[in-house]
Every structure is written in C-alpha cells, then in structure tokens.
Amino acid sequence: MRIYRSLDELPVIPNAIVTQGTFDGVHVAHRTILDRLKQLANQYGGETVVMTFDPHPRTVLFPDDHGLKLLHTLDEKIEALRKEGIQHLLILPFTREFSRLSSMQFIRDIIVNKIGTKVLVIGYNHRFGKNREGSFEHLKQYAHTYGFEVEEIPEQDVDHVSVSSTRIRKALETGDVATAAKYLGRPYAIHGRVVQGKKLGRTIGFPTANMEVSDELKLIPADGVYAVQILINNSIYSGMLNSGYRPTVDGSTYSIEVHIFDFNEDIYDHILEVRYVDKLRQEQRFESVSALQNQLQKDKLHALQILQQSL
C-alpha cells in the first residue's frame, strides 16, 4: 500500500476506485465498503484509493470537546487498511480551511480534478463538505456533469443493530469488549510501551508488564479485569489485563497492567499489542493481599477457559 500525506504527492491513478471517510476502527461495515471497492477495481481494471483525514475532524471542529476517544491511532488505521489490501491511502490534513470547502468544491477540486475518480463508493447516509451539506443525492447530481460514477452501500446491520464507530465506542466504554469485537470483526486492541512499574505483582506471584499508551485520544476500555491475548515479537500469548487504580495495593495511580501466562522474559521498552477477548470482572478492593491472590488465581482459570474457547 502506498501512502500519501497531501494531494500533491498523489500520482495519476488510472480508473481510480475511491472511498473517503474517517474509517475509525475499520469495522465490519467499513470492510463491506472496502470489499466493494476491490470488486469494482477488478471490474474496471483500476486501483483502490482510500481518502481519510488526520487529525480526526472533530478535534478541529470542536477543540473544546475533550470527550472524543478513538478506536484507532493513525498508525493502527494505516495497518488495518494495509491488511485489507488497499492499494493507495491518501491522508489529508484536516484544517479549519479544509472544513470550509463546499460539497461542490470538494467534488470538483478533489474527487474529480486531483484524484480523477472513476467510481466513488460511499457508506449509507454519508455526509461531506461544509456543514455536512453533501449527500448521496448531491453526488449523483454532479456525477453526470463531471463524468464519474457513484455508488452507495446500504446500511449494514449485525443482529438488527446498526454498526458504527460510535456504537463500538459505547460498548468499550462499558467494558463490553465481546460486543465490540463482534462489530469490529476482531478483538479490540491497544498498543503500548512496557515501562517500569512498582513491581508489586511480583511479590504476589503475578508479575505484570506496565503499559504506557502514548496517544491520549486512544480509547481504553472501562476499568476492570479482562482476558486478553498479547502479541510479542510475532508470537501470541494468553494473559489477563487490569486497568484502573489497584485499590487493594495502591488506590491512587492509574495503570494498565498485563500478566502474561507462562512468560518470563525482559520486555521493558517493547511495544505490546494487547487484544481484549472478554471482561472477567470489575476492579475491586479486597480485604487483604491474600484475598487478592486467591481472586487472581480464579481470574487466571476463568481467563484460560475463555481464551481456549476463542481459539
């Protein structure tokens, strides 16, 4: 996959089959659009182009709204689109000036003149341009004038519930990582660097890797204890994760800690990928460290059972 960070970098792409959007999470509905993109590219002898934006438009349009959390960092989004077999990824800088482009300007100047679109594929109810004025009907009006085709993908449902990045975020914010995985088509994952911690886990027989997630917009699922898979040096390990304030042994410092089963290597400064499989329980305060140890043993058995079933 070739990556471009401005329109000026984009080469001439014969029969460009294009879609555009934020694609946060690259979930099952997104992949329906991407699959159609690839089908059309084969049909027309063209190449697939995904246009997305950085930073996320909401951070520019609503800078005082600090509640936005994203399913993907930019690097994670790039990797997800690469895995989908997309040939060209155009990452446009999203600015206030860019947001003021009318839908007509966006179609004429970018979709037509800059990209040379053969077919534009959009998702259900997709909006674009200044004040989100552009729509599928708007695109159809201009398609004939400028000589491109436009196709809208119908609304995608999973068990009669519309799939969207917002619904996935809401599931994760309640700790429902199993539902999020269903909508994503894969377990939700975070990436973080292993940093020095207080090493309290070692003293109770459950050493942990303390993770530091550097992207402040990355959504971390609700505090609690989870069964997880951990990717280390291209190998997958089973484990469990605790996020929160460790009320039994600390209570004041937020942390994300991963206990990796049957693992005893030095991985400080390594970047881990942790995949959430299911929630085991809420974080809670125990009367003693011994009671915490007993619960962790139960958590491990529960996690192993869940992870075995997920294989």
Instruction: Give the pLDDT confidence of 107-160 residue by residue, as tens digits.
Output: 999 999 999 999 999 887 777 777 777 677 878 888 888 999 999 887 765 565
Label residue 214 by pLDDT band (50, 70, 90): confident
Domain spans in the chain, listed from the N-terminal domain onward = 2-161, 188-310
Instruction: Give the pLDDT confidence of 146-186 residue by residue, as tens digits.
Output: 999 999 887 765 565 678 899 999 999 999 999 999 999 99
Give the tokens for residue 234: 């291209």
- Could you confirm whether domain 2-161 is CATH 3.30.70.141? no
Q: How many CB atoms lie within 10 A of CB 185?
A: 15
Instruction: Give the pLDDT confidence of 76-91 residue by residue, as tens digits.
Output: 999 999 999 999 999 9
| Same fold flag, 2-161 and 188-310 | no
The predicted model scores a pTM of 0.91
CATH superfamily of 188-310: Riboflavin kinase-like (2.40.30.30)
User: Which residues touch 48 (CB under 8 Å, ≥6 apart)?
Assistant: 17, 34, 37, 38, 41, 85, 86, 87, 88
